[in-house]
A and B are shown apart, each in its own frame.
Chain A
Amino acid sequence: MTSALDTGSLEAPPLDVASLRKEFPLLEQSSHGHRIVYLDSAASSQRPRAVLDAMDHYYETTHANVHRGVYAIAEEATRQFEAARSALGRFIGARRPETEVVFAKNATEAVNLVAHSYGRHLLPAGKAILLTELEHHANLVPWLMLAAERGTELRYIPVGEDYRLDLSRLDELMDGVGLVGVSCMSNVLGTINDLGPIVEAAHGVGAVVVADGSQLVPHRRVDVGALGVDFLAFTGHKMLGPTGIGALWGREELLDKMPPFLGGGEMIRDVRLDGFIPNDLPWKFEAGTPPIAEAVGLHAAVGFLETVGMERVASHEIELTSRAIDLLTERHGDDLRIFGPPADPERRGGVLSLGFRDIHAHDLAQVLDSEGICVRAGHHCAKPLMRRLGITATARASFYLYNGEDDVVALSRALDVAAAFFG
């Protein structure tokens, strides 16, 4: 295990879920006459009042376009936007957030940025791209598009029977590779990948590593330095922030060499009718008016997570995931299949992909919904992985800091309802 993941000390006081939940207005809603049991944070988290208030406050007191006006509120908007960048950078251990953190629409756009600006321009012709079988579409399709366009060879690190990446042929797979794309944690299986050996092997052959941190950054302390990767893509709405904002962290020397991604205002230093000079980092990659209020909201989300403490968030989820696996297995026995590795503090996150009896995931999720329980049903934007597992759909329950054992008990009871309903 790399030191990039701090799984928390046992001395940290446990989270008080009941009072924490009160900070999240949506969790006080009801659904079909039941308390909302929100178990879909791997798709998108809910956000605390602090985030909503920060965005409202920004719009009510400050809003103007950034990096343009000389008047007071425009300068303040710019200051808040750049302060959000710094806070987000510090959150992931970036040494130079002011140049290394690029705001994007989401993790998907961040990966596309790398696929375009690095993949199409700096990846040497003839070098292969190595991905894994457990990637979701965001870290798959941009590379498939690149491969289709340039004839690049794509290879895949397989997923073993233990739901973990099978690294036994890593050196062989890495030979001739120029870029590696790998997620920090699977959104289907909950597997936390050990990136250490992959990064080492990649750098050994001069390849860069693009990590997708969408599922891990919200839940564990991630330090890009310790992780050792060259790029990290992640998104705001899975970490208590608003939708419409994500980020790419990249090594400054790489970002510097890369040409711009989207063209427009903001990303230029000078424009003539016969050409343009790109702006400095990171604005070179931020064409057009950026998501300013969203950056302010994401800053508040980072503040919220830091106040709670990522170590406590991690400990809480590790404990809850372990309890959930025990409780569900005990209550439902062979009726229930969990597609993913067993509980493991360092190598498994709070995502449970479930198969229950022979009830289709869609039907299962529908019955759970009638009990107020929100789970995701389907292929989770990871169709190749689902094919590898030999299934078309699972019902996925995923946890965050506001989930407690009462949510797991509610899920278990709703499984009984589904069993009775479908006989």
Chain B
Amino acid sequence: MAGLEDLYREIILDHYRSPRNRGELPVPPAHKVEGFNPLCGDEVVVYLEVSDGVVTDLRISGQGCSISQSSASMMSAGVKGRPVEEVRKLIRSFKSMMSIHEHSLGGEDAEGEDETGTVSPDDLGELAALQGVVKFPVRIKCATLSWNALAQGLDEIAAGVPSGG
């Protein structure tokens, strides 16, 4: 049986205690997306700025457990300053890492897991620390909360949909 240390890796607790890119951005020009985890009431708000195909800035607010908050923090560190196409690839890779159990739980965010164009877990950097979460199926939604919000934000920007807030 999976132990606590599989879930709460030191790097995760570090991001939880000292979250990166915490805060808000003025909307517009930034795009704002909210994500809710109906299971536990966690909420994450992603502020996203994209120009010339690059995620130029990103801020996270909201509240939640260590897994949702550290995942959001690591995500922000991982995508800031990167081209949108690379970010999408990273999102696919991350969700693929989280997807097996999510699929069996009937989650609606498992689509895209079979798409090509993912990076291997070795290239996920510190995000790979969240791999242990799949051993705790109920917590997968915590880990993917901010990623789903980010994906939604990128889609909305691409489609020219105005910001949710």
B71 → chain A, closest Cβ, in Å?
Answer: 13
B105 → chain A, closest Cβ, in Å?
Answer: 16
Q: Given A32-B1, A360-B66, A422-B13, do A366 and B42 touch, yes or no (CB 8 Å)?
A: no
* Cβ proximity bits B59-79 to A, threshold 8 Å, 1 near / 0 not: 000011111000000000000
A363–B41 touching, CB < 8 Å: no
* Choice from B4, B40, B67 contacting A378 with Cβ under 8 Å: B40
Q: Indicate if B142 sits at the interface (CB-CB under 8 A).
A: yes
Q: Which of chain A's residues have a CB closer than 8 A to the CB of B39?
A: 378
* Cβ proximity bits A137-174 to B, threshold 8 Å, 1 near / 0 not: 00000000000000000000000000000000000000
Q: Which of chain B's residues have a CB closer than 8 A to the CB of A410?
A: none
Cα of A422 to Cα of B42 in the assembled complex, Å: 19
Q: Indicate if B139 sits at the interface (CB-CB under 8 A).
A: yes
Cα of A255 to Cα of B63 in the assembled complex, Å: 46
Q: How many contacts A-B (CB < 8 Å)?
A: 47
B132 → chain A, closest Cβ, in Å?
Answer: 12
Q: Which of chain A's residues have a CB closer than 8 A to the CB of B40?
A: 361-362, 377-379, 392-393
Residue of A nearest to B62 (CB): A392
* Cβ proximity bits A14-54 to B, threshold 8 Å, 1 near / 0 not: 00000000000000000010000000000000000000000
Interface set of B (CB-CB < 8 Å, partner A): 1, 3-4, 7-8, 13, 39-43, 63-67, 136, 139, 142
Cα of A422 to Cα of B41 in the assembled complex, Å: 21
The 9 closest A-B pairs by CB, nearest first: A362-B65, A360-B65, A392-B41, A379-B41, A378-B40, A370-B4, A363-B66, A393-B41, A363-B65
B4–A421 touching, CB < 8 Å: yes
Chain A interface SS verdict (over half): helix
Cα of A361 to Cα of B41 in the assembled complex, Å: 10
Cα of A377 to Cα of B64 in the assembled complex, Å: 12
Q: Which of A362, A379, A422 has the most CB of B within 10 A?
A: A362
* Choice from A360, A367, A377 contacting B4 with Cβ under 8 Å: A367
Known: A363-B65, A378-B41, A392-B40. 13 other contacts (CB 8 A): A361-B65, A362-B40, A362-B66, A363-B67, A366-B4, A366-B136, A370-B3, A379-B40, A379-B41, A383-B41, A392-B41, A392-B43, A421-B4
Cα of A378 to Cα of B138 in the assembled complex, Å: 12
Cα of A271 to Cα of B131 in the assembled complex, Å: 59
Q: Which of chain B's residues have a CB closer than 8 A to the CB of A383?
A: 41
- Size bracket, chain A contacts: 10 to 19
B3–A392 touching, CB < 8 Å: no
Q: Given A360-B66, A392-B63, do A386 and B41 touch, yes or no (CB 8 Å)?
A: yes
B69 → chain A, closest Cβ, in Å?
Answer: 8
Q: Which of chain A's residues have a CB closer than 8 A to the CB of B142?
A: 362
B66–A392 touching, CB < 8 Å: no
Residue of B nearest to A362 (CB): B65
B124 → chain A, closest Cβ, in Å?
Answer: 23
Q: Which of chain B's residues have a CB closer than 8 A to the CB of A422?
A: 13, 66
* Cβ proximity bits A396-423 to B, threshold 8 Å, 1 near / 0 not: 0000000000000000000000000110
Q: Which of chain A's residues have a CB closer than 8 A to the CB of B4?
A: 366-367, 370, 421
Q: Which of B41, B66, B67, B139 has the most CB of A within 10 A?
A: B41
Q: Which of chain B's residues have a CB closer than 8 A to the CB of A362?
A: 40, 42, 64-67, 139, 142
Q: Which of chain B's residues have a CB closer than 8 A to the CB of A379?
A: 40-41
